[in-house]
Structure 1
């Protein structure tokens, strides 16, 4: 593998009102992202990540069983298969975050990882599921209504260009999984998100660079843009970025525009940073046993 790898982070608005049927959202969003993936390829991207549940609005702002119809099987659902064909055509790796259905009615917030030859490498299921109200109109991050917690651990995928780990949105507040991804050899961790201005915006450029520094890898954070009706709970503030293992921002997106952000991973830097700081050598796992036993 080459030492330098170009990363494409896709942030986009959802331009169909949430009152529309699920299939209207999916069709429009998929068509938009097919174009944006091609744009990323034209700009040199080799690994491309889309935003959290990219093919529609962030419907978790309400609790409505209508949105269960957005879920698909992975990898046998139509969206995964479509993007497998695209990845093979363009020779790119795609991190594809979609709403997953297992069996009759079990649901996860999942990202499928597709290699540059179009093969399906596996999936990551979001581990940490928020469920909090915001404001006085019944809106909130009602994710436990839609998703079970992930049960596949923290896999690292050996793609054609780099070893890739995935976190999804709220996971970013928990350093434990971020460390596991580093221990398993991740060279870049991608975090597809859907987060609005206000409560945690100040953490957006704080927590994830800290994960990159503490664990000696690159981290790509992806957030959608715009406001989404009928909820209009807040502005999705974009600012998708790639940060290096020293905490430097390599590339940063705008706050309010559909955009393909391109940044470059330098694997030599990963080795240099890990050789310098030796955090993995100096950690003391035998002293951390009580962490999993302590209650809040």
Structure 2
């Protein structure tokens, strides 16, 4: 019997772009704006839904303003509890990227995974943290310390990679080795420097590892930082690197695709990248070189 799964991605612009807007007001507006599209996903039969990176706020990392730490909360916490109720209502797995407060002064860029009955399954913490002009993420986030877990949901085994992680093949391979059938990459990335890579790297991960990927990216321009245009183009890609569905560059959208998970076995029988690995020759990869 074919294992066909309906996946969904939400891409969204920030509704409040005012430099002095209260942090809690911005966060609540973003949550409120997502709710209709989450309901739409449920009504369309989406079984696994992924939101964009730090879905309940702007991408505030171009600043070094500590007040944005006020968006952070425990995981699980009130926002994840609310999303768990929506997951249970629609019998829909949800990947919810959120700013996590682990303890006073310790924060992570995190994605919570909620099963279709509302059960919190665990979280992934972004491992690769950039720190460069426009992306001062190390000011806000500690690098992840949970490795590359996968989560056995009702419908599929899923893994999570977050934004800048996508530039690194090592974690993408580990997610496959750990059993991921679908890897989700919620992102906040702007036109210019990285846009040409957006449709290259992640299909390459899907092909190299024989799994599906769902890649979400926010849209619009966010003041007061104005670091560039978030170009959306959220998409699903299969283990052959073929695009199944893609969003626009500008609009708030729910992107939906059907994935036949039996394709994973079919592709891996032809391309034996796991069989032909040579981990005995990779010793230098785990050394601090140069």
Q: TM-score range by the shorter chain?
A: over 0.9
Match of 1:36 in 2: 37
Q: Find the residue that maps to 2:61 and give its secondary structure.
A: helix
Using the TM superposition, give the Cα deviation of residue 105 of structure 1 relative to its aligned residue in structure 2, in angstroms.
2.0
Q: Find the residue that maps to 2:275 and give its secondary structure.
A: helix
TM-score, normalising length: structure 1: 0.96
- Separation (CA, whole Å) in 1 of partners of 2:103 and 2:87: 27
Match of 1:198 in 2: 192
User: Is contact 1:196-1:234 (8 Å) kept?
Assistant: yes
- Separation (CA, whole Å) in 2 of partners of 1:154 and 1:108: 15
Q: Find the residue that maps to 1:148 and give its secondary structure.
A: coil
Q: Deviations over 1:136-186 (max 9, x none)?
A: xxxx10000000000000000000000000000000000000000001110
Segments of structure 2 that go 5 or more residues without pairing to the other structure are none
User: Is contact 2:8-2:50 (8 Å) kept?
Assistant: yes
Q: Deviations over 1:106-142 (max 9, x none)?
A: 1000000000000000000000000111xxxxxx100
Superposition map of 1:226-265 within 5 A? 226-265=220-259
Superposed structure 1 runs of 4+ greater than 2 Å apart:
none
- Separation (CA, whole Å) in 2 of partners of 1:43 and 1:257: 19
Asked whether 1:80 is paired with 2:74, we answer no
Asked whether 1:179 is paired with 2:173, we answer yes
Q: Find the residue that maps to 2:254 and give its secondary structure.
A: strand
CA RMSD of the aligned region, Å? 1.0
Q: Find the residue that maps to 1:279 and give its secondary structure.
A: coil
TM-score, normalising length: structure 2: 0.98
User: Is contact 2:87-2:94 (8 Å) kept?
Assistant: yes
Asked whether 1:269 is paired with 2:280, we answer no
Match of 1:114 in 2: 114
User: Is contact 1:116-1:159 (8 Å) kept?
Assistant: yes
- Separation (CA, whole Å) in 1 of partners of 2:203 and 2:137: 25
Q: Find the residue that maps to 2:190 and give its secondary structure.
A: coil
Q: Deviations over 1:70-95 (max 9, x none)?
A: 000011x2101000111111110000
Segments of structure 1 that go 5 or more residues without pairing to the other structure are 134-139
- Separation (CA, whole Å) in 2 of partners of 1:105 and 1:293: 30
- Separation (CA, whole Å) in 2 of partners of 1:15 and 1:86: 22
